[in-house]
Amino acid sequence: MANPPSTDGYSFDPFELDLDKAFEIIRRSGACRVGLQVPEGLKRAAPNIAKQIKEKTGAEVIISGDPCYGACDIDMALCQEVDIMLHLGHAELGDGPDNVIFLEARMTTDLKDAALNAVPHLRSKKVGIATTVQHVHKLGQVLKILKEHGIEGLVGPAGGRIKYPGQVLGCCYSTAKALEVDEFIFIGTGQFHPLGIALATGKRVVAADPISGEVSKIDPQPMLRRRCGAISRAMDARRFAVLVSKKPGQRRMELAKRMKALGEGKGKEMFLVYLDNIEPDRLLNLGVEAAVSTACPRIALDDAAKYRIPMLTPPEFEVLMGKRDWEEYRFDEIYE
Ligand code: SF4
């Protein structure tokens, strides 16, 4: 996330947080103990938010000190200690513990300039629009700018773990895949989401950053080359770890078991490894030569350089095992 938030009062510039709504829910529930979980970008504001909750509701607050990567990453142990867990910054994914309240952080940044910057780079008269949750409330601005330039903008439907039309997650591009267009405009920061759209849809993607003002055409080839390299490096591995996340929205045990069975069927030694935060040092002493991550797809696709052993996604492991052709490369996504 961009600028560090102010820890002063209710100001989290450039984010908006409706803390009054959270105070009201906490008061109405009669909760005595409240858990507070915030993404790293808002963590500096956590003590001040905790203080505000105490003052406004009288409830005792326990801050989750662990990293928080998304709505998939609920601190389950803390959930059991508190009456209500306030999870800030992410949109709800779907099923989860009943005592979690999600309070999204919306960016105040306008999207008009980003859309205007992108227009000269678009080739089609009909384009799909995608963004992350911080900007979904301003997608109307993008639609308007495109219309003024004779371009029809389409926004894909919400559903599954996607709460808002047009929203994408690093692990889910269903809103983009639902659209019949030849081109997408992604409004947001970073390269991972637009790369995900390009790989999940096979379509041209123009990314417009509303913070920096930069526009780029996404080229998925360098990432595909890196992924092909990772598969090749895993070719001679005999012993694999199949990583299963403890995080509720990343846990794919059935998929992990299928990967284990697939590898064993090809004569590999396969071990299920259950862990919370997947970090390089956690794998060092296991003595495995390669890993398949069934957790957040970003671990294999975005963080691969951090690991000394090849780290594959499940579809990539299927390529390695000869179950899928490289030409059918599939971006790993989580739908449920
Ligand atoms: S699984 Fe990864 S990409 Fe999906 S919501 Fe969680 S952190 Fe984000």
- Confidence check: pLDDT of 86 > 60: yes
Confidence at 15, pLDDT banded by 50, 70, 90? confident
| pLDDT reported for residue 335 | 84
- Confidence check: pLDDT of 294 > 50: yes
Distance 206 CA to ligand 1 centre (A): 22
Q: How many residues does the chain have?
A: 336
- Confidence check: pLDDT of 5 > 80: no
| pLDDT reported for residue 81 | 97
* Ligand 1 near 70 CB (within 6 A): yes
| pLDDT reported for residue 65 | 96
Asked if 320 contacts 234 with a C-beta cutoff of 8 angstroms, the reply is yes
Pairing label, strands 269-275, 290-293: unpaired
Residues facing 239 on adjacent strands: 269
Question: Which whole number is the average pLDDT over 180-188?
Answer: 97
Distance 161 CA to ligand 1 centre (A): 10
pTM of the model: 0.92
Asked if 218 contacts 208 with a C-beta cutoff of 8 angstroms, the reply is no
| pLDDT reported for residue 14 | 80
Distance 14 CA to ligand 1 centre (A): 22
Q: State the Cα–Cα distance between residues 12 and 231, nearest whole angstrom.
A: 43
Give the Cβ contact number of residue 239 at 10 Å: 16
Instruction: Check the CA dihedral 116-119-121-126 and report its sign.
Output: positive
Asked if 38 contacts 17 with a C-beta cutoff of 8 angstroms, the reply is no
Query: Alpha carbon 50 to chain centroid distance?
Result: 26
* Pocket test residue of 332, 334, 336 for ligand 1, highest count of atoms within 8 A of CB: 334
Question: Which whole number is the average pLDDT over 126-147?
Answer: 97
Distance 28 CA to ligand 1 centre (A): 31
Question: Which whole number is the average pLDDT over 227-246?
Answer: 97
- Confidence check: pLDDT of 322 > 50: yes
| pLDDT reported for residue 97 | 85
84-88 β-sheet, strand order:
60-63, 33-37, 84-88, 100-103
Determine the atom of ligand 1 nearest the C-alpha atom of 295.
1
Distance 55 CA to ligand 1 centre (A): 33
**Residue nearest atom 3 in ligand 1 by C-alpha distance:** 170
For tokens 């599954």, what's the residue? 160
Peptide bond into 297 cis (omega under 30): no
Distance 333 CA to ligand 1 centre (A): 10
* Ligand 1 near 294 CB (within 6 A): no
| pLDDT reported for residue 9 | 43
Asked if 189 contacts 215 with a C-beta cutoff of 8 angstroms, the reply is no
- E-strand spans in 145-188? 152-155, 183-187
The tokens of 288 are what? 């495995």
| pLDDT reported for residue 13 | 72
- Confidence check: pLDDT of 284 > 90: no
Question: Which whole number is the average pLDDT over 35-55?
Answer: 94
Pairing label, strands 269-275, 239-245: parallel
